[in-house]
Amino acid sequence: MTTPAPSPHAPLDPADLQRIRATVESQADTLFALAKDLYEHPETAWTEVRSSAAVAAPLAEAGFRVVTGVADLPTAFTATAGPSDATTRVGIVAEYDSLPGLGHACGHNLISAAAVGAALGAAPLLQEAGLQLSVIGTPAEEGGGGKIPMIEAGVFDGLDAAMMIHPGPDDRAWAAPFAVAHFDVTYKGKATHAAAYPWLGVNAADAFTVAQVAIGLLRQQLPAGTRVHGIVTSAGTAPNAIPDTATGKWYVRADSLDELETLYQRVVACFEAGATATGCELTIEETSGRYADFITDEELLATFVDASAQLGRDLHPEDRSRTGMNSASTDMGNVSYVVPAIHPYLGIDSAPAVNHQAEFADATMTDAARRAVLDGAVALAATAVSLARARN
């Protein structure tokens, strides 16, 4: 991947900010109703039929040109407004998939509401700023990598910037996600009676045990900026039958795509060790394109931070460490390699809950979450308008 050219310096116009803020505040009930609707009807990766329609609906009502099924993905869409001859094109990214069994425990319902709010907030200024703005609805961020085929299909081509916000326990300006590979592991053995004929069996569950021991031993030699984790999803059906099949889902994370490939091969060797030790057949299948690390556009982020400060938020732009939610992998990293991008985090006062806990989903329904939606919408819209004015 190549790095996109940086954005020009885009100073914030206080008058623009106030106009955008007034528009967004007037839509507050609509935006939070959308967040609540997604919260109450969570849909997981690739099944977000109701969710994508709900996110697109207020944009269509506001006059945005909605195109569904983009990149041949049924739950992906674009919603565009602004002059066709605009000198600047910006994409505001919406995510709306939920987590299996946890609902919107990552807060994608708030991401979508803020994206819609940003579009509505910027709409009155698009003509005079020379800005064409698109909300880009992207499925399957929580495993599946919906943005990757959208990049390949050209959905992000021609954009001068792409941006989104993400909720978390606290405010953070910098995205520092790991590159990640997602993959399924299957061992095939041979079933038999565990007491009467154990010597006839080939134990698929044991293969996973060997592999996980090997991974545990590998961890002490791994670089600090890596992660290996997963779950066994099945490993037999009866204690008196040696399992003939065992399956699991695993992630490998690293600082960069290059480092990820090296680590991935070492982890694959651990799973191969399980197959060798037990005599099982091993199948490993990557379930999506690999997510990249993230390139932050510093000028875009500076404008977003400035706008957030005017709204009473300190995003700590001096802190570029990888701690907390800003280390979570995202296919928005792949977008950042093809277009200037930002991915800041807005706190919703969820403590002690953090992302991917069921309590965090409930925290998206609080007054603090409502404020984050509105602040995120205003800051995103102001950043897009400021970029357009800087490029005119």
Question: Average pLDDT for residues 116-143, to the nearest whole number?
Answer: 98
- What's the rounded Cα separation, in Å, for the pair 347 and 168? 5
- What's the rounded Cα separation, in Å, for the pair 33 and 54? 10
Is the confidence at residue 1, as pLDDT, over 60?
Answer: no
Candidates 116, 112, 145, 136; CA nearest to 46 is 145
pLDDT, tens digit, 9 for 90 and up, residues 320-379: 998 889 999 999 999 999 999 999 999 999 989 999 999 999 999 999 999 999 999 999
Please tell me whether the overall predicted TM-score, pTM, comes out greater than 0.75 for this model. yes
Residue 172, Cα to own-chain centre: how many angstroms? 16
Q: What is the pLDDT of residue 392?
A: 86
Question: Average pLDDT for residues 83-107, to the nearest whole number?
Answer: 97
Is the confidence at residue 279, as pLDDT, over 60?
Answer: yes
- What's the rounded Cα separation, in Å, for the pair 325 and 329? 9
Exposure pattern of 20-42 as b/e (b: 16+ CB <10 Å)?
Answer: bbebbeebbeebbebbbbbbeeb
pLDDT, tens digit, 9 for 90 and up, residues 131-175: 999 999 999 999 999 999 999 999 999 999 999 999 999 999 999
